Amino acid sequence: MTLTDPLNQLSLPVFGGLSVLLVLIAMLVGKWLGLHSARKGKMSDASISSAVAAILGLLAFLLAFTFNSTAERFIQRKALLLDEVNAISTTYLRADLLPQKQEQQARALLAEYVAVRDMDPKDTSDFQQRLDRSKAIQDALWQIVAELNDQQYDPLRLGRFMESLNDVIDFNTSRIHVGTRYQIPGPIWGALALVTALAMFGIGYQLGVGRRGSLQMTLALAFSFSVVIMLIADLDRAAQGWLIVDQAPMSELNQELQKAEGISRHRPP
C-alpha cells in the first residue's frame, strides 16, 4: 500500500503521542507566558477571553469538518464492500448465460477473484500482489467477453453478463481509491495542528494570567483533544487502528464460491 503523505505513514500510537505532546507543550508555553505577563501586570484575564473563545470555535469547526469527512469515507468503504460482493455474486450467477466452456472458465476465475479479494485489512504485505492478480483476472474475464463478441454470441445474454462484470471492475477501482488513496490531505492536518496549538496556547495563557488551573485539568484537557484527533486519524485509515471495515461479507462469499466450485469439479459430466 503506497501512502505519499508522510503523516499517513506514522503509526497511530506515534500519531497520538505527537498530538498529546503538541497540546501539552502549547498549553505549558501559554501558561508560562501568561504567568510572566500577570506578574508584569500587562494584561487582564478578561481581555483575552473573547480571543480564546474565537479560536476554540474555529478548532471545533475544523474538528467537526475533518471528523465528518472521515466518518463519511468510513461508511463509504463499508458500502463499497457490500456493492462489490453483490456485483461478484451477480456476475457468478450470470455466467450461466454463457456457453458451457466459457461459463466454467468465468466461474473459476471469479472464485479465484474472491479468494484474492478476501484479505486481512491489517496485513498489507502482499497487497500489491493481490491488486496485480485482481487486474489479471479482470483482464481474463474481459477476454472471454471479447472472444464471444467476436463469435457473434447472443448479444442480449452476453450483455447481461458484461453489465455485471463492468460493475465488478468499477467497484474494485472505487474501493482501491477510497480505501487507500483518499485520505485527509497534509495541509488540513497542518491547519488542524496549528489551530489546536493556538487554542491550547490561548487556554494556557488565560490560566496563567488568571493564576489558576491545575496539572490534572491540564492533562485531562490535553488527552480529550488528543482522543478526538486520534479518532479522526483512525477513521481515516483503512488498514490501521480499531475502526476497520468488517470483511465478513467477502469472506462468506469466498467460502460459498469455493464450495460451489468444489461441487462443480466433482460433478459427473
CA 50 to chain centre: 37
The confidence score (pLDDT) of residue 266 equals 44
In a domain, 97, yes or no: yes
Q: Specify the pLDDT at position 5.
A: 60
Residue 70 lies in a domain: yes
Number of domains in the chain: 1
User: Does any domain span residue 235?
Assistant: no
Instruction: Note whether residue 239 is domain-resident.
Output: no
Query: Quick one: pLDDT at residue 269?
Result: 47
User: What are the residue ranges in the chain where pLDDT is below 50?
Assistant: 1-4, 266-269
pLDDT confidence of residue 111: 92
pTM of the model: 0.78
Indicate whether 237 belongs to any domain: no
Give the tens place of pLDDT for each residue, 229-263: 888 888 888 777 677 888 888 888 999 888 887 75
What's the per-residue H, E or C state across the chain?
A: CCCCCHHHHCCHHHHHHHHHHHHHHHHHHHHHHHHHHHHHCCCCCHHHHHHHHHHHHHHHHHHHHHHHHHHHHHHHHHHHHHHHHHHHHHHHHHHHHCCHHHHHHHHHHHHHHHHHHCCCCCCCCCHHHHHHHHHHHHHHHHHHHHHHHHCCCCHHHHHHHHHHHHHHHHHHHHHHHHHHHCCCCHHHHHHHHHHHHHHHHHHHHHHHHHCCCCHHHHHHHHHHHHHHHHHHHHHHCCCCCCCCCCCHHHHHHHHHHHHHHHHHHCCCC
Q: Which residue has the cell 475544523?
A: 62
**126 lies in some domain:** yes
Q: What is the pLDDT of residue 268?
A: 44
Residue 269 lies in a domain: no
Question: Does some domain include residue 117?
Answer: yes
Q: Which domain holds residue 21?
A: 12-213+246-264
Is residue 2 left, alpha or beta, with left meaning phi > 0 and alpha meaning psi from -120 to 50?
A: beta
